[in-house]
Structure 1
């Protein structure tokens, strides 16, 4: 079977995790930061939250979509036992290790910053995402292998036909709208360790798989209509921002979220689907950096917030500190210490590590 590397999907994963770092650093400068366990700056930058309100409806759902796509490609050369073992090593092991050894670190820094009694309590923290993904793999694997065994059948052809029009991908928003009606999330972007985050992620993971399963038609559609999706998303964001003070009814935010995501998929397919050494490195680094970034940015806040410099420079300094320290920890510790690698989602052997790029099967009918 001919294959084509999907560099754009790898790039989108890297970019989404990069945006996650900026998003979490911006929280430090918001008045409600302590309510969700973040160190809070005494000086605020509430203006930072304006662009964040645009990002927060699609950045996490995008990662769930990409994760579902990644599972499709992982299944191409694995049976269910091999897949479950591989996902246990790559997702469940880092999640369990992070639960007891990584997420506690930033809480130690939080306690020290506020002169609280130092106490140890394991918790999922920002790694809730990994727990959700592993649960989706277990729950949906029977369905996915059934679909794999019936490729080129009526269901796949029907999905391919449905994805051939502008409205095709948007129709799945009906399921996301139903989720918001039933769960009633408050606010919409509260994904972490909530039923809303679990069910929204489940839907995005499922449809990410189905989009790739349906063939190349989906990608041709988002490529053709990318600016229309982005334009519709921008209009919905404008309505949300100016009429609803950034928290619109759930059904509108569900549609807006998918419009942003489909537009981003189209842009990625157009401009990012090519190899580079930078991508090869970053696609390996993104996962371990996601795991460690929280305690690094807390350490940055601990050191930089007490400084007598303008507040915006504090934001820049924490950002630079977080990026540099994450790179140094990854490059000189996690990447090189063989016994640590599997605990952070990397392979045991550091030499000749493959790029982790996603492979898309070429169908003869396309």
Structure 2
């Protein structure tokens, strides 16, 4: 089976953007209201790129996660898939709730001089809990679709997805989700029903897009500029006419147009292997789990300094990335019993290469 390096690249880039976005929250006046350490020097112009990212960065990760399940299912039954995902997702989620999330909460308490207490919880790892639920719910359907590859159903879906009109049912389902649930704001994904059902749809269609074969990806490449121009146009319309909040159905369309454009550009330009990708694709998951602790630690050290907000932003971002990667490289990657706790495969031999 051909390796899809573009999907690996998009996953790495999406997690990188997640780190940047989380650092930027500390420079918004409302950051402290959602549990981040807030800077006394807000950098509000950051909100323009943040609001562009915010409508698609989390849905993109759900799409990519569904695609990953397709490849995992090629070598497993659906029962084996659930067991494997329990080890790769549920174990890090449970460990992170009791051992990682309380660290950044205690740093927040210390910074704001609140009585220190141990507070376990999903925190930024809520995403993992959702993913495991999707695997349990959808794996029988995915297994059925796997058995239909090369048959009439697969050929019919591939024919439907040869034109942009074939994507209209998917766009419609995402619109129905926001019309029914009425999320306020649209971007509130964490531990909400909106985030759960939006993620469920994205996870399913991510699997479906890889399952139906190259015809869909060729469609995306042919129409990539249509998706990109439509997404950019809706974003500009949102800035000019709908601030602070556009209708949810427009945000849903904009989100999916950005995502389709990203997949098209990735398939066209990023579908190639590299040593950097091999390393980053392994590191991305542990870095995602770790980064909030280093973000809060860096904020505690850097925010009190009398320097401009953009410089503080760069320093906190550097501290977060460097701290997360150093701990991954020097400790987690090299310690066999820690690897499964951060979603990595346990090595059978000391020098075995990761696959």
TM-score of the superposition, structure 1-length normalised? Answer: 0.95
How many residue pairs end up in the alignment?
Answer: 353
1:354 matched residue in structure 2: 354
Distance across 1 between alignment mates of 2:314 and 2:49: 16
Alpha-carbon offset, residue 142 of structure 1: 1.1
1:133 matched residue in structure 2: 131
1:82 matched residue in structure 2: 80
2:141 matched residue in structure 1: 143
- What is the aligned counterpart of 1:109 among 78, 86, 107? 107
- What is the aligned counterpart of 1:27 among 2, 25, 41? 25
Distance across 1 between alignment mates of 2:14 and 2:78: 29
Distance across 2 between alignment mates of 1:255 and 1:111: 39
Distance across 2 between alignment mates of 1:295 and 1:66: 25
Q: Deviations over 1:36-95 (max 9, x none)?
A: 000000010010110010111111100000000110110001012221111010000000
1:203 matched residue in structure 2: 201
Distance across 1 between alignment mates of 2:227 and 2:212: 20
The answer to which of 166-175 and 187-196 deviates more is 166-175
Distance across 2 between alignment mates of 1:114 and 1:351: 45
SS for the counterpart of 1:171 is helix
SS for the counterpart of 2:3 is strand
Distance across 1 between alignment mates of 2:337 and 2:212: 39
Distance across 2 between alignment mates of 1:191 and 1:330: 27
1:50-129 equivalences under 5 Å are 50-129=48-127
Distance across 2 between alignment mates of 1:10 and 1:172: 23
TM-score of the superposition, structure 2-length normalised? Answer: 0.98
2:248 matched residue in structure 1: 250
- What is the aligned counterpart of 1:345 among 336, 343, 346? 343
Alpha-carbon offset, residue 149 of structure 1: 1.7
Alpha-carbon offset, residue 128 of structure 1: 0.4
What is the RMSD computed on CA atoms of the aligned residues? Answer: 1.0
Distance across 1 between alignment mates of 2:234 and 2:33: 28
Q: Deviations over 1:330-354 (max 9, x none)?
A: 1001101111100000111263333
SS for the counterpart of 2:2 is strand
Q: Which runs of 5+ in 2 are unaligned?
A: none
Alpha-carbon offset, residue 146 of structure 1: 1.3
1:331 matched residue in structure 2: 329
1:359 matched residue in structure 2: none
Distance across 2 between alignment mates of 1:126 and 1:92: 14
The answer to which of 251-260 and 167-176 deviates more is 167-176
The answer to which of 54-63 and 345-354 deviates more is 345-354
SS for the counterpart of 1:317 is helix
